Every structure is written in structure tokens, then in C-alpha cells.
Structure 1
Amino acid sequence: MAPKERTKPRAGFAAQLLHSRETGIVGALLIMVILLSIFAPDFASKGNLLNDARNLSFIGIVVLGQAMVMITGGIDLSVGSVWGLAAVASAAMMQAGMGVVPACALTLVICGVVGLFNGFCVTKLRMLPFVPTLATMSIARALALVITRGKAIDGFRPDGDAFFALGGGDIFDLPVPFIIFVVLAIIVAIVLKRTVYGRQLYAIGGNERAATLTGLNVDRLKMSVYVSSSVLAGLAGIIEVSYLSSAISNQGLGKELSVIAAAVIGGTALSGGEGTVIGVFVGTVILEVLRNGLVLLGTDAYWQGVFVGSVIVLAVFIDQLRKGVWRRR
């Protein structure tokens, strides 16, 4: 009689929790919140927390699109410039007399075209992702300068217009941008985890050649995530214009670094195939909590980039430890 095969026992809940990527970053966030609440009492005030929620929402919306690109193994360096282009384009069109809805819709279409161009270059022209997205980063910023001629665009809507509630309004004391971010995060989470489309994106990032051999339309899928990334960057620009009631050409300048940082801190792999919306959400919160905490602690603004960069390196290192990279060497 053949001996019974030993089945590997299922890991318990505690073990699964320990090896979860999100557990580490949630723990890091809790530690940061506790320490800041002790050393910077103003941090835990309701006003400051709500302000943080509003500020992180602009970057968070863009991170959702960037994470989808990174899951497929790509990267989008143009999101900061597309953000700025959307801000000035929407404001300029409204200043010219166009209605809010048509102006915002046309702005998102323009952003989608930028993303389509990025996706076309990556898929059909076989360029490395950083090449076309670096180019569109420069092109979009230049177009923003052409539109503004270096001047701010304001007075495009009358005072008290409903458009300004999109970025500056509150619902049940929660900032409207934060509510939009949460809703979009839920939608993206469902798409990535509960749909065939989401599983296909992970398959491409895990092994693009294998995904192609199984019959997936890799080019179409990759183009779709670049379009999504640009449209979400454009949406963030429009919402920020609503909040600031003005637009300038350098809006979103350098934000691509913060967006990528939030995604990496949240556990989205630069190599593709890994990443969750929960991780992206927490990574975005960590980035804003860190920035706000440094301000409240009186840290020189010039040093903030050093701390953010250090956190990115630490996050990647911890993720390597979790996956046992060092044990295999």
C-alpha cells in the first residue's frame, strides 16, 4: 500500500499576516502617526488631518493610474506634466467661455491622447517606457507654458461657482477630493482583483512573453493602462484647479517622483506583476504624513527630499527581505 502523501499545512492567519506586504507598511504608518502625535501635537488635530486628506488625494488619484502601468512592467514619467497641462488647459477653456463639463471632458480627452501616444510608442514602436514618457513629460510641460505664457490663469469662473466645490468642498466634513480618491481606489481595486482585465495586467507584468503565448492582446492592454494613467493625472489637475481657483504652468512639477515614490512605498514592484490598491493607498498616506510631519517638526524644506528618498530605499529593502531575496544569494 503506497504511503499517504503529506500535505503541506496551510499557513495560519498570523503567518499570512506576517508575510503580507501591506502589514509592514501599515505598521510603519501607525508608528509614524503615534510618534508624530507625541512630538508634534498639532498633527493629530482634526483640521490638520482633514488638510492632509485633501492634499494626499491629488497625488493618490494619479498613483492609481501609475500603479496599473507599473503592474504591467512599465512606468509613466509624464504624469506630473500631464497634471499641469490639464490644469491650465481646463482653466483656459473655461476662461474662454466654455462650460465646465465640456472643458473638463475635452481636457480629459487631450490627456487620453497623450497616454495613447505613450502606449503606442511602447507597444508598436517597441520603445522602453521611460523614453516616450520622458518625451511627453517635456512636451506637455512646454504646451502648458505655451497656454499660459508664464502667467497665472484665474477669474475663469465667478466666485461661488459650483465647480470650486469639486476641489474645495466637503461632504460630511470629508474633503470632496478625498472622497473621489477613495471611490476611484475602490473601483480600481475591484478591476484589478475581480475582473479578467485585472488578472491579465498582472500576467503581463509577471511574464509578458508567456502572456503573449496564451493569446492575450498585450499591446492593447498596455496601451489601456497608459491612457488610464494620463486620464487620472488629468483628473487630478482639474480637481486641483478647482481647489486653488487658479492655474499656473508649473502645477504638477516634479509630482511624478512623488507618485512613483508612493507606489513603490506601497509595494508596487518596478519590475511588474506585483502591487495592490491597499498598498498604493497606504503608500500615498505615508508620503503625505511624512511630508506634513517634517513641516510640523520644523525640518528644513530642503531636507524633505532626503527623507522621502530614504523611505523609498528602505521600503524596497524591506520588500526584498520579505520575498527572501537575500536568502537566495
Structure 2
Amino acid sequence: MTGSPGDIGTQGIEMNKPIEATIEMKRRTSLGVRLLRSRETGIIGALLIMVLALSIFAPNFASVDNLLNDTRNLSFVGIVVLGQAAVMITGGIDLSVGSVWGLSAVASAAMMQAGLGVVPACVLTLLIAASVGLFNGLCVTKLRMLPFVPTLATMSIARALALIITRGKAIDGFRPDGDAFFALGGGDILGLPTPFVIFVVLSVIAGVVLKRSVYGRQLYAVGGNERAAMLTGLDVDRLKISVYVMSSVLAGLAGIIEVSYLSSAISNQGLGKELSVIAAAVIGGTALSGGEGTVIGVFVGTVILEVLRNGLILLGTDAYWQGVFVGSVIVFAVFIDQLRKGVWRRR
């Protein structure tokens, strides 16, 4: 005996419920698996563990003043990391960012000391930084040099120019347009240091560009397989030049903001910062081989680097040992990333 049409419809709905539940469970499971496999999940977890441990063993770490000081300090490196990450995503590297940082700092300070207004001085400084990036990009693309060769050369050239400008002396005592310029690096917005706010805004913009724009997808394509990108019609040379210019401009911006914060400039500003910048990018999951990296990753990587530095100081660790710990964290971060990808299982 067959049931009525209404009974059949009810049975069909009841039969669909387990299927829908199974689909929903699979969807949640796949989301969980993706989160576990995500490099960002790992580094965020590492950051939380570091913060918790330092809050216990170094009580001053969790103080408001210390945290605000950390956010200001990490912002200078963080701004530069955004440009470095773009270069690394295309498979390159920029060793000149520290020297461009220093050159931009002394150039902007020297121009303002000479009486040039803030805006013209900053614009000219960023143009100088952009010209260094353009030179790097042209050497990499048109002269087919390995990225470390021209960027190593400009690292030396930019540092020498900074020394020529300063003659080994500090540039200070300038008061451009009142105190407005000094608020750029030393001021606050809604209780947060202005450099950190700038870093966050630039990170949001960079994240949108890399993930949501055609330009961003093209950068990943170049880093993933440059030959294939060329065959699909992408202007690989133009894309590479653009990221080197971007890297230098952001390094120049960091130099200007730091001058605003310190109210002075010396030739060794940014000295060795290229190592911190590359370290933050690598810790954040940006692959040196290109094609991988996210803004969230480099943001967290920058925070980890500063938290580690600050924590070591608060724990009374000898300053000479800080480089050992930072280097160890870099190696460990790359090891975890290789483990996540299953590199050794494929061998």
C-alpha cells in the first residue's frame, strides 16, 4: 500500500536532512583543515605563546606603556617589510632597503635644515628613493642581473651618499613648519602611535591589492612561474620594476617618519635593518623562492620580531645574544613551513 503524496514529500525532506548535515560537517571539517594547514595560524599561535610567556616571566612586558612603545618601534620595520614582501613574492630580494632608509632620513633632514618646506622635502626624498628602486629593477630586468647584485651595490652607494651628506655628523635643530612634522612620527591617533596607524593602513591597502586586484595576482604568477607568466602575456619586467620601486619608496617613507620621531638624522640610520626586514618577511611565511606570502603573515612576522627583541631586553638577556635568538627563530620558522608543505615526504 502506497502512502499519500504528502507523506512521500515529508519522507523526502527527512531523507535530505542527514545529507545536508553531512555536507555541513564536511564543510566545517575542510575549513578546520585549511586553518590548521595555514601558515598564518601557526605564526599567530607562536605569537600568542610568546606574549603569554613574556607576560608571566616579564611583568613589565604587558604594561600599556611598553606595548605602545613596541607598536611604535615595529612600525618602521613593518612599513619596509610590506615592500620587501612584494619583491620576494616575485622571486627577488632587496638588500638596499636599510641604506635607502638611512639615505632618505638624512636627505629629508638636510633639505628641511636648508629651509625647504616639509612637503617638497618629503616628495624629493621619496623621488630619490624611487630612483634607487628603479635602478635596481632595471638591472634585474634589462641587464638580467641576479637581484642580490644590484641591490647589494645600491646598499653600498646609498650608505656612502648618506655619509657624504652628513659628513659623519648628526643633522638636527630644524623646525619645519612648526611642530606638525614631528607629530608624524611622535604623535598619536586615538591613543595609538601615528607610525603604527600608518603601518596598519598601508597593510590593509597592500592586502587588498595583493589578494583582490589583478596586479596582485600577476605578482604571484611571476613568482610562481616566471616563464609561464611570460607565455600568458604578462609584462614581467614592468611588474618586477614596480615592486623594486615600491620597496625603495616604502623604505624612504620609513626614514622620513623616523626623522620625525627622533627630530634628527644620522648616517647610520637603518643600518642592518635589511636583515630585520627580510627576517620579518620570512618569519611571516613569505617564500624566498617566490610565489608565496601574505600581508597578514608579514604583519604578524614583524610583531613577532619586535616582541622577541623587547622580551629579550626585559628578561635581561645580553644584547649580543639577540642576533642568535632572531636567527634561530628564522630557521625554525622555515623548518615549520617546510614541514607543513611535506617537503621531506616527497623526497
Alignment TM-score, normalising by the size of structure 2? 0.92
Task: Indicate how the Cα distance of structure 1 residues 326 and 96 shifts in structure 2: closer, same or farther if over 3 A, else same.
Answer: same
- Aligned position for 2:304: 286
The question of 1:63 aligning with 2:58 is answered no
Distance in structure 2 (CA, Å) of the matches to 1:293 and 1:52: 10
The answer as to whether partners of 2:118 and 2:176 remain within 8 angstroms in 1 is no
* Cα distance in 2 between the residues matched to 1:158 and 1:283: 35
Distance in structure 1 (CA, Å) of the matches to 2:134 and 2:314: 41
Shift of 1:156: 1.4
User: What is aligned with 2:225?
Assistant: 207
Q: Which residue of 2 aligns with 1:73?
A: 91
Match of 1:176 in 2: 194
Task: Give the structure 2 partner of residue 152 of structure 1.
Answer: 170
Paired residue for 2:250? 232
Distance 1:299-1:17 versus aligned 2 partners, 3 A rule: same
Q: Runs ≥4 in structure 1, deviation > 3 angstroms?
A: none
Cα gap change, 1:159 to 1:16, in 2 (>3 Å): same
The offset of 1:230, in angstroms, is 0.0
Secondary structure of the structure 2 residue equivalent to 1:264: helix
- Matching of residue 165 in structure 1 with residue 183 in structure 2: yes
Separation in structure 2 between the aligned mates of residue 159 and residue 205 of structure 1, nearest angstrom: 44
Q: What do the CA deviations read for 1:1-28 (whole angstroms, capped 9, x no partner)? A: xxxxxx9x66522111100010000000
Q: 1:30 aligns to what?
A: 48
- Structure 1 residue identity aligned to 2:201: V
Identity, in percent, stands at 86
Instruction: Show the counterpart of 2:340.
Output: 322
Paired position in structure 2 for 1:3: none
Provide the rounded CA distance (Å) in 1 between the counterparts of 2:319 and 2:66. 18
- The aligned length equals 322
Q: 2:299 is aligned with what amino acid?
A: F
Which of 233, 238, 242 in structure 2 is aligned with 1:220? 238
Q: 1:264 aligns with which of 282, 287, 291?
A: 282
Q: Distance in 2 between the 1:169 and 1:176 partners?
A: 5
Q: Is there any run of 5+ residues in structure 2 with no aligned partner, and where?
A: 1-22
Report whether the alignment pairs 1:248 with 2:261.
no
Is there any run of 5+ residues in structure 1 with no aligned partner, and where?
1-6
| 1:104 and 2:125 matched | no
If each structure's helix is expressed as a fraction of its own residues, which one has the higher value?
A: 2
Please list the CA deviations of residues 262-318 of structure 1 after superposition, one character each: whole Å capped at 9, or x if unmatched.
000000000000000000000000000000000000000000000000000000000
Q: CA deviation at 1:158?
A: 5.9
Structure 1 window deviating more from structure 2 (287-296 vs 154-163): it is 154-163
Which one has a bigger Cα radius of gyration?
A: 2
